[in-house]
Amino acid sequence: MTTAFVTACGGGGGGGGSSYKQPKGSAQTTLDIKGGNFFFDPKNSDAPAGVDAIKLESEGGQHTLVFDGGKVPGFKLEANSGKSDELKVDLKPGKYTIFCDIPGHREAGMEGTITVT
């Protein structure tokens, strides 16, 4: 019998989203999405396939914008009241679900889609 010492202390919660690597090239378009308690406006957006920028603007409270299902690993926008956050992303055609990952917000309605064609 061997006792494996697997210490689970590595990492420590990551460095706050800096692991995401933005695609090269300029964005074809910028999706302006407003986040509030508890909604995205617009809820459903369309974007051309390729490199686009997504901007989250908080209309009140702290909110995030992430992709569901690990479709875009590491991508996370985070904005507090009156602030905005923006990142570029390379999107393939398809329908993506986005949501705010702050506990309770998605359930309260902070969910939407981005349809890429």
Ramachandran category for residue 28: left, alpha or beta (phi over 0 → left; psi -120 to 50 → alpha): alpha
CB nearer to Cu ion: give 47 or 58. Answer: 58
H/E element, 116: strand 111-116
Query: Which parts of 23-82 interact with Cu ion (CB under 5 A)?
Result: 63
In the complex, the smallest distance separating the C-beta of residue 34 from Cu ion, rounded to whole angstroms, is 11
Could you give phi then psi for residue 70, rounded to 5 degrees? 65, 25
Judge whether 94 and 116 are in contact, CB under 8 Å: yes
Give the shortest CB-81-to-Cu ion separation in angstroms. Answer: 11
Minimum separation from the CB atom of position 46 to Cu ion (A): 22
51 vs 102, which CB is nearer to Cu ion?
102
Q: Which of residues 27 and 105 has its CB atom nearest to Cu ion in the complex?
A: 105
**Spatial separation of the C-alpha atoms in residues 50 and 29, rounded to whole Å:** 10
Footprint on this chain of Cu ion (rule: CB under 5 A): 63, 100, 102, 105, 110
